[in-house]
Structure 1
Amino acid sequence: MTDGQNALTGLRVAVLGPGGVGGLLAALLARAGAAVTCLASATTAERLRADGIRVESGQFGDFTTSVEAAERLAEPVDVLLVTVKATQLDDALERAPADVLGDALVVPLLNGVEHVDHLRRRYPQAGVVPATIRVESTRTAPGLIQHGSPFVTVDLVAVPPLEQRVRRLADALERTGVTVRVGDGEAAALWSKLNFLAPLALLTTAAQATAGEVRASRREDLVAIIGEVAAVARAEGAPADEDQVVAFFDGVPAGMRSSMQRDATAGRPLELDAIGGAVVRAATRHGIAVPVTARYVDELRERHPGS
């Protein structure tokens, strides 16, 4: 397969968790010609087989596209996109048996950093690709996706011997309209998102307030958490500049809310352990004090048992 269109047409993709992120990527890839199978519950799979996925997007337009759907992966694929919440990961992985998946690329688009090693242990034959996504996209009903941000940006890490396959996937995603950046630094890719996400998620959820309200009323804690996470990121081998993160935080829309905050409001389990807990555990490994981050993690665990 030489050109990008042929690469897309021949690409077999399974999407584990066709929610806001997974449903959007599944629809974009299917519309562009990839063979897409969504792995979901029986009810959701039945709905997707019958009605396809409907996307409402200012960037990509409003469209409906057909996809295959199943409760469990039955045939090999080239790529498995893992797009469930961290709190749902272990249960969801039962839908993608390792012996069926084989040597596919496994691309987790989850919050946090620890899931990459977990997936490598779970799928020893597969090529696990550290990745992150930046997008605001919500599943309002099975098969109905509302994409609100004027962008979808995916960062992929390509290291030998996976580089050629990762770049093929990047090319396929780019042809759907997604912005893709390919790098070779695993720690940099994962921690660059956590540098911003951890302060945003912890502060907005604890305060039940927007980013604008938090940066005004909890400024001292905001700057402290950003500095603590940056110190841990550097110890993990990732570049981190707390001044840049503070400036970025100050520049985001005042009404921005985190997905953790939305989960708390809706009474859903929080990705607290994957986001804040991961920072605290890494800090402990490196002997770095993160008192403000740890205080927020402990406070939210008390308010949301089981998170």
Structure 2
Amino acid sequence: MANSPKYTVCVLGPGGIGGLLAALLARAGHRVICLGRPETVRELRAGGIRVRSKQFGEFEARVEADTELREPADLCFITVKQTALSAAVRSLAPEATGDALLVPLLNGVEHPGALRERYRPELVAPGVIRAESTRTAPGRIVHGSAFAEIDLAGAPVVRERLTEWAGVLNDAGLRASVQEDETAMLWRKLFALAPFALMTTYYRAPIGSVRTEHRAELIELLEEVAGICRAVGVAADVDAALRFYDGFPEETMSSMQRDAAAELPLELDAIGGALLRAGEAHAVPAPLTRGLVERVGAASV
């Protein structure tokens, strides 16, 4: 909307997801500061971000870029991989973030606790994003899905601010909403993600092959993960998850599978490790999950 206020948004990790968010918000007229490595900073300063998207078309957006946050922002998206989180947050000093909302869009369920130990706990408002988006080079983003949806959750004291930010994101072209239950939001994402990530990565095959050639194992894994979800108090529907997977284009790969193919660090602990720790805490056996985690881990060494 033309008369909407304009904000300063920090994006820590302008990769596939962070770069898409940065470009959309910059295109909507907001000031965007991307934090990244020196080589990424140079490319963004020189050429901005170019997006090729099924949903938003092709466009370019100018953003600012730096290796650390040097001035206050209204909101900080944290969009690095879980494997890079500990190192990446050094460029986002607590004294620099001030009263900014911190919205991590990471896989897994344990990162909010780690971030709340570093920053003001009430300002850490986790989110989940549903989109397939890849950085092909610094500042070059390919958004392959025909959707980009974000759920936000956080402490009651920031609920009004989250609702305002959902409106900002909607105005920028995303589909955003505020959820009441942070735990349920994160675990629903993990339930949908973990079997997909573990099996496509282990079999080195896209979802089309996994859901046909290894369907019985996929169902068994979903049932195992669903048991862990229910133990932590979150409903999990195996049939709905199967329908979700069956709706994917057959060539769809998980981000963990792409990382494995590129010999990059895997978010195995954030996804599979978190499941196993929760299962142990609630005495829920998960032998198939454990076996897949161990085999994927051994193959990535």
> What is the TM-score when the length of structure 1 is the normalising length?
0.95
Aligned to 2:120: 124
What's the CA shift for 1:250? 2.3
Shift of 1:253: 1.8
Would you say the 8 A contact 1:204–1:210 is kept in 2?
A: yes
| Alignment correspondent of 1:21 | 17
Preserved contact between residue 155 and residue 182 of structure 1 (Cα < 8 Å): yes
Following the alignment from structure 1 to structure 2, what is the Cα–Cα distance between the partners of residues 45 and 170?
Answer: 28
2:32 partner letter: V
1:51 corresponding residue in structure 2: 47
Aligned-residue sequence identity (percent) comes to 49
Mapped contact 1:29–1:173 kept (Cα < 8 A): yes
Amino acid at match of 1:73: L
In 1, Cα distance between the equivalents of 2:121 and 2:230? 30
Distance in 1 between residues matched to 2:64 and 2:108, nearest whole Å: 29
Q: How many aligned residue pairs are there?
A: 301
SS of the aligned residue for 1:38 comes to: strand
What is the CA RMSD across the aligned residues, in angstroms?
A: 1.3
Distance 1:16 1:289 in 2: 37
Q: Kindly indicate whether the alpha-carbon contact (under 8 Å) linking 1:276 and 1:293 is maintained by their aligned counterparts in 2.
A: yes
In terms of mean alpha carbon deviation, does 126-135 or 270-279 score higher? 126-135
**1:176 paired to 2:169:** no
CA offsets 1:63-87 (integer angstroms, 9 cap, x no match):
1111111001011111110001111
Determine the structure 1 residue equivalent to 2:84: 88
Contact 2:12–2:77 (8 Å) recurs in 1: yes
Contact 1:230 1:240 in 2 (8 A): yes
TM-score by length of 2: 0.97
Gap regions ≥5 residues in structure 1: none
Whole-Å separation in 1 of the counterparts to 2:3 and 2:231: 42
Q: Name 1:250's counterpart in structure 2.
A: 246
Closer, same or farther in 2 for the Cα pair 1:6/1:125, shift >3 Å?
farther
Runs (5+) with no aligned partner, structure 2: none
Report the Cα distance in structure 2 between the residues aligned to 1:5 and 1:297, rounded to whole angstroms.
Answer: 49
Asked if residue 40 in structure 1 is aligned to residue 36 in structure 2, the reply is: yes
Distance in 2 (CA, whole Å) between partners of 1:126 and 1:69 is 27
Tell me the distance in 2 between the aligned counterparts of 1:110 and 1:92.
13
Alignment deviations for residues 173-193 of structure 1 (CA, whole Å, 9 cap, x no partner): 000110112111111111111
Q: Give the direction of change, closer, same or farther, for the CA distance of 1:217–1:8 in structure 2 (3 Å limit).
A: farther
Query: Which stretch of the first structure deviates more once superposed, 121-130 or 132-141?
Result: 121-130
Matched AA of 1:25:
L
Task: Please say if residues 124 and 154 of structure 2, whose CA atoms lie closer than 8 Å, have aligned partners that are also in contact.
Answer: no
Matches within 5 A, 1:283-302: 283-302=279-298
- Out of 188, 212, 218, the position equivalent to 1:216 is 212
Which residue identity lines up with residue 185 of structure 1 in the other structure?
D
SS at match of 2:186: helix
| Equivalent position to 1:259, from 255, 259, 263 | 255
CA distance in 2, matches of 1:16, 1:6: 27
What's the CA shift for 1:220? 2.1
Tell me, in whole angstroms, the C-alpha distance in 2 between the residues paired with 1:42 and 1:126: 31
Pair 1:149-2:145 in alignment: yes
